[in-house]
Amino acid sequence: MREKMLITLTALLSITLVIVLVSNPMPVKAQENGDLIVSGNSVVIINQTEYECRGRVIVKDNGTLIISECEFVFNTSSPGIFVMDNGTLIIDHSDIDSIQAVYSVIVNS
């Protein structure tokens, strides 16, 4: 019984935290001229129809990046997505593409 209550309480706290974080996302321009770095418990939501990134994407130190309903395009010679140190990347109904034939996705959480 106690374990079930603890699990329920943990789930409720997690949901509350997500609601608070998502309701206060950081603004993002339709184009990033350099590396897009999300860190330090920040939540960044990219939900533009098109988004051009001219650098790498780095999500680290408990940061969260949500790419939602977006055509995300890398326009750089060394594209890549790097998720590390408890970073979170959520891609929802989006396309990720690059002007290069290949791009890296490295997850080391």
Structural domain that includes position 63: 26-108
List Cβ neighbours of 75 (8 Å cut-off, separation of 6 or more). 52, 53, 54, 98, 99
The verdict on residue 20 lying in a domain is no
What is the identity of the amino acid at 45?
I
Total residue length of the chain: 109
* pLDDT averaged over every residue in the chain: 80
Say whether pLDDT at 54 is over 80.
yes
Does the pLDDT of residue 92 top 60, yes or no? Answer: yes
Task: Decide if 26 contacts 75 (C-beta within 8 A).
Answer: no
- Determine the pLDDT at residue 21: 46
| pLDDT tens profile 62-79 | 999 999 999 999 999 889
Average pLDDT over residues 6-33: 52
Return the DSSP state at 48: S
Confidence of residue 17 (pLDDT cuts 50, 70, 90): very low
